[in-house]
Structure 1
């Protein structure tokens, strides 16, 4: 009998997940990490709540003057955030950039899955934080799993959606997407057609009816659920009181995922 050959997996979350631990950091370092995460191509589009979690798991590393941190042409397996020191970025031997406190580097190779585009060398003793590509993937998987579980709990507690079964609840939770808004932004406007349901991950909104503020909603609250069941005009305006991180799902996705259950939910809603 031919012996079956076993191949080492390219990515094994169970192996690296146990090493994805948090490290204590000073507030100064946390602020510098945030500054870098907001500009790195790999992380800038992630919501602030994810930046908070990511800042907790990046790992410390020291470099001495003259150390080559990454080398042009090598494969990239981690990205770095510098919080103390200085590094030069060179390409084909010529300086093209520099890295100071609060900046990151090495993310482009991970994002594009390409060799390092430049060499980065410490010009003085420097202190950085880093995360490997595998740890970053595991981190995103953990964040996404936690998000879905949180959305499932939310959906179960919405009266209009309470009759969804476990599979339907999971599908809707999985379909919810992040949606960020700036301060003083009309998220929905009274009288407009409604087709989105919103959950407030972080932030505060005010409810305005006929030009008058009538209520406020905060993190953990939701609004617009009626839009999932039927196409109707919004009966109030919802405006952000500051920057908000929301999760949304639209009516078309909702109907496509659960089909005729929409009619069942609507009937149950009328009978409440």
Structure 2
């Protein structure tokens, strides 16, 4: 680098500049000059983030890349629809938080105007009832009885199984899940029928029993398909979760059987449970040193993704040495112990104890390797929070360097001869 020799810095730092820093800066500046963004700072921040993602992708296996690509495609519609949602919620809070009259309970559906462009903050006037649901000081959880629509045990089981992967429904206990399953109402639509229209109020969400639908977003007068959904998929929940108009239209592409859940049941049971789960796990994560430097948003995102696993009795196996790693764990309650066989056929030896707030299972995910040790429960009741491989890769980037550095805690102690 021209002029580098004149700088009064160490040879190590000069080497760092030449071999690591300069290539990245040159590539970024060249791209900025090519694109000539009006504001270069956000452009460069985004470029660096994309660069980091590309470098991380090099560590992924072919199967993981394929899985992530499919997941990204299915999430793209939600990403686009979320642009402006936060601004809309803030506007609703600012405009309506001071209003607490009884007339807020009255519906005023005519006040809504469909947003002209979902990539810009919505200009719709929120219904007073929606504002009251989210912000009214009077809004205390009153006695609520969810509707009941008879179903066979098999139908209830299928509904519960389809809802489990969603962070919203993963917070429900078995009794709440059964209540929600019974509250779903069956609805059948023929092919090419509009189920949801972009810009409308969200009064319900849907679970597909069988059939297929496509999600469409209208932009600049043109409608394009952004997502396809099939049996077991959920749609329409965003408008209920964020108290905003429908972000996309949904049309059936075949004769489709749907399960429909009303707004009030969603708010009273599902949304409340999800918020309680988020608050509980976020407070817990704040006490875990690993997450100490994460901001609130990152911590809440991880809290939403965590699932609790309960093990009754000591000696239950959680992970098995030699298995392919697919989860990361944090001890929520009780105690676990790691055991390792250093030689094939050897009886596993205890190598580490994991107490509340400790984590394990990350090595196999970071190194794309098999489990280096087995972990067993070591208490009458043990609860662990788990996160699957894909979610771990997506959310734990900010702490992966810490995890790699702390991996030395697994190194065996030096033997005394």
TM-score by length of 1: 0.48
Which protein has the bigger strand share?
A: 1
Which has the bigger relative contact order, CA under 8 A and spacing at least 6? 1
